[in-house]
Chain A
Amino acid sequence: DAGITQSPRHKVTETGTPVTLRCHQTENHRYMYWYRQDPGHGLRLIHYSYGVKDTDKGEVSDGYSVSRSKTEDFLLTLESATSSQTSVYFCAASLAGGRDTQYFGPGTRLTVL
């Protein structure tokens, strides 16, 4: 795997508050991804990064922003959390982009009340 850790692992927050999730990898993978996983929807891509300071939107990017100031860290921010953002969030990393294996972190369970 790519030595991926996520923090926090669980978070409960209230509607309207900002939330930041952190992903850290130790294998110097160039590409990093944030997904959300919901019943009936599988894994859906939120944002991805193809290098330091290089990011792009995925399928479900509304309400989310990301930042990558270092190769090893990829942050996902919910500027103003809503109940529809209650989900399990997974970070992934890949050496060579979309046509290469993506290795996943353990996930963060976020509940927005």
Chain B
Amino acid sequence: GESVGLHLPTLSVQEGDNSIINCAYSNSASDYFIWYKQESGKGPQFIIDIRSNMDKRQGQRVTVLLNKTVKHLSLQIAATQPGDSAVYFCAESSRSGGGADGLTFGKGTHLIIQP
């Protein structure tokens, strides 16, 4: 029979290099975006967020870029470290999404750090 597994996009980078993880969204009404990091066996951890009135936001070693024209979001991690190995996924929300349930999550990208 056919096996079903976890087929996430994978990004492999050398330790010390910069990583760029991409996310495309389809809802042009989305106006709030979050990046999460999920390590194996743990819950998703908030990294950084951005609202649609901004194009760029920086945190500690991370930068999120938002291109509303092409509905694209990216997460840049500077000087990647072994502890950055995880699955990263984006989430989006829009006013049209209603109240409490307004976040839509992507399926994630697996970041692997090569020594």
Contacts and interface: CB of A to CB of B under 8 A. Distances in A.
Interface in B62-106: 89, 91, 93-95, 97-103, 105-106
Interface residues of B, number: 31
Select the residue from B6, B42, B105 with max chain A CB neighbours within 10 A.
B105
B107 A42 contact: yes
Select the residue from B31, B89, B102 with max chain A CB neighbours within 10 A.
B102
Contacts, number: 74
Contacts of B6: 39-40
B97 A39 contact: no
Contacts of B91: 102
A40 B103 contact: no
Interface of B: 4-7, 31-32, 34, 36, 41-46, 49, 89, 91, 93-95, 97-103, 105-108
Interface of A: 1, 4, 31, 33, 39-43, 45, 48-50, 56, 58, 90, 94, 97-107
